[in-house]
Amino acid sequence: MKVCMSSWSYHPVITAREMDQMAWIKLCKELGLDGVELLDLHFPNLGKEYVSGVKKLITDLGLEIPMCSVSNDFGKADEAGRLESEKLVEKWITIAQWFGSKMVRVFAGWPGGKDPAKYEAEKQKLWPDMVARLQRLAKKAEDAGVMLLLENHNHLGFTKTVDDLFRILNQVGSDWLRICLDTGDYLVDTGDVNGFAALEKAMIYTMMVHAKFYEVDADGKDKKQDWEKIFKLLKDSRYEGYLSIEYEGKNPKVEVPLAAKYLAEKTMMT
Give me the residue spans of the domains in the chain.
2-269
**pTM > 0.85: yes or no:** yes
In terms of Cβ atoms closer than 10 Å to its own Cβ (0-12, 13-18, 19+), residue 51 is: middle
Q: Give the separation between CA 22 and CA 37, rounded to whole angstroms.
A: 13
Q: Which pLDDT does position 89 carry in this prediction? A: 98
What is the predicted pLDDT for the residue at 207?
97
pLDDT bucket at 270, cuts 50 / 70 / 90: low
Which of 231, 238, 75, 105 minimizes the C-alpha distance to 178? Answer: 105
Write down the pLDDT at residue 111. Answer: 96
- Residue 208's H or E segment, with its range, is strand 206-213
What single-letter amino acid sits at 21? Q
| Measured distance CA(222)–CA(217) in Å, rounded | 6
The radius of gyration of the chain's CA atoms, rounded to the nearest angstrom, is 18
Q: Quick one: pLDDT at residue 190?
A: 80
Spatial distance between the Cα atoms of 203 and 205, rounded to a whole number of angstroms: 5
pLDDT tens track for 165-208: 999 999 999 999 999 999 998 888 887 888 899 999 999 999 99
What single letter denotes the amino acid at residue 111?
Answer: P
Give the span between the Cα atoms of 239 and 256, in whole angstroms: 23
Whether residue 226 is predicted with pLDDT greater than 70 in this model: the reply is: yes
- Residues of the chain with pLDDT > 90: what percent? 91
Closest CA to 98 of 145, 42, 152: 145
What per-residue confidence (pLDDT) applies to 192?
81
Q: What is the pLDDT of residue 269?
A: 64
In whole angstroms, give the CA distance from residue 132 to residue 175: 15
Pairing of strands 103-106, 64-69: parallel
**Mean pLDDT (whole number) for 25-33:** 97
| Helical axes 21-30 vs 48-60, angle rounded to 10° | 10
C-alpha dihedral (182, 188, 194, 197), degrees to nearest 10: 70
Q: What percent of the chain has pLDDT over 70?
A: 99
Tens of pLDDT, residue by residue over 63-99, are 999 999 999 999 999 999 999 999 999 999 999 999 9
pLDDT at 174: 98
Look at residue 188 in the predicted model and tell me its pLDDT.
Answer: 86
Whether 3 has a pLDDT exceeding 90, the answer reads yes
Cα–Cα distance for residue pair 86/82, rounded to 1 Å: 6
Q: What is the pLDDT of residue 148?
A: 98
Q: Which CATH superfamily is domain 2-269 in?
A: Divalent-metal-dependent TIM barrel enzymes (3.20.20.150)
Q: How far apart are CA 59 and CA 9, in angstroms?
A: 21
